[in-house]
Amino acid sequence: RPRRWRSSEVRGVGIGPLAAAAGCDLLDGKAIGGQIREELHQVVQRTRKELDLTPGLAVILVGDRKDSATYVSMKQKACDACNITSMGVKLAADVPQDEVMRLLKSFNDDDNVHGILVQLPLPPHLDEAEILSAISPEKDVDGLHPINVARLADMQTRPSDSPKDSASNARGVASELLGQLAGSYDFLVPCTPAGCVELLDRSGITIAGSRAVVIGRSNIVGMPVSLLLTRRDSTVTLTHSRTPAPVLRDALAAADIVVVAVGRAGFLKGEWIKPGATVIDVGINAIADETKKSGRRLVGDADFESCSEAAGLITPVPGGVGPMTIAMLLRNTVIAALRSYIAAADAVAVVKE
């Protein structure tokens, strides 16, 4: 459930006392993400014990970007906490394209690898589209393969497997767990958009019948989150950097849910949004702050002080969407492992017939 800001929490994320005075409720991605990770830990305990199945995630890091290395380390630690096997490969910044492609093929062919993640961004000499397309769609835990993107856009997509087997047999156990985790999706959903929607669901926010505005049209966040909200019967307005200011503000004035992901610190202003709206801030930007030891602090794409006065609910930065993204990555890895197990069981059954 959303909880009220305390002044100590506000200071802890680098926000002044204004937010506490405004009384805006916090959508605590760190707490909800932790709950999901604990649930996944319990699921993995069952897959290991009842199916002899340990989900495995391969992560490829290219180059020496400190932020990318930090994200990869966080993902690997999260895997360890859930008993998911993580395999990390670090490649030089000048690695040739064909070497990356060979590595991806080896992971695609490895039955112990259920999920593959290539940490973005990649060095400019690498063809990102070709690399992402080389990942098996069944192992594409980032949900960025063109086939998974197309499935997301197909509003008629239905579950590929339903828990109709007896839970007393192994395939039945796998099918039951898959139904619990994957819901109505028969493909892997992009992690950050899935995390945004999960955050809304677990915070009791009604999506069906709502009006939503998504600011940003990237393939990683803006486009897929608009499709996910549409699938959930929200009426979505997708805006971007070329949307005229009056059009954007008119849309925001009527929006119950606002997802902002434009990569501009403090872009969304509180006076633009509908009073009581829910604001999901996907942005993460470093700005100068002489009071910090590092000389900088992290802020989102929403101007927190003004938005917290108008919004009913808002995500902090950090501690909002970020932990949810990692939780969804873990969930996708477990889903991919379960689908692989079911496919193998079905293949054996066909041979026996």
So which residues are the catalytic ones? Answer: 75, 119, 142
User: Residues for the chain: how many in total?
Assistant: 353
Task: Tell me if the bond preceding 318 is cis, omega within 30° of 0.
Answer: yes
Looking up tokens 């830990």 gives 41
Which residue in 47, 49, 56, 43 sits closest to 112, CA to CA?
A: 56
CA 95 – CA 180 distance, rounded (Å):
40
Retrieve residue 42's tokens: 């319990």
What do you get for the CA distance between the two ends of the chain, in Å? 50
According to DSSP H, which parts of the chain are helical? 7-12, 18-22, 29-50, 66-81, 97-108, 128-134, 146-153, 170-182, 191-202, 222-231, 245-253, 304-310, 321-352
**Sequence letter at residue 77:** K
User: Using an 8 Å Cβ cutoff, are 339 and 333 in contact?
Assistant: no
3-state SS class at 159? coil
